[in-house]
Amino acid sequence: MQVALNYAGFHVAVDGVFGPETQGAVVAFQHAVGLVPDGIVGPATASALGLY
């Protein structure tokens, strides 16, 4: 997911840890694509990131 966030332009360290930096990037991504910015990578966010 961190790689997908980076690819989408939301730069975070790729360390495998879902910490505050990653959660902040998820919220920013969700806001940018019109999703509810809750910081949770559910099905809609994962799909928008191209994870499945």
Task: Please tell me the distance from the alpha carbon of residue 17 to that of residue 31, in angstroms, as a whole number.
Answer: 21
Residue 32's SS3 state is helix
Domain ranges of the chain: 2-48
Give the type of residue at 39. Answer: G
Please say whether the beta carbons of 42 and 51 come within 8 A.
no
Give pLDDT, residue 52.
84
Q: How far is CA 38 from CA 26, 31, 32, in A?
A: 8, 9, 13
pLDDT digits (tens, 9 = 90+) for 6-36: 999 999 999 999 999 999 999 999 999 999 9
Q: Is the pLDDT of residue 40 over 90?
A: yes
Instruction: Read off the pTM.
Output: 0.95
Residue 36's SS3 state is coil
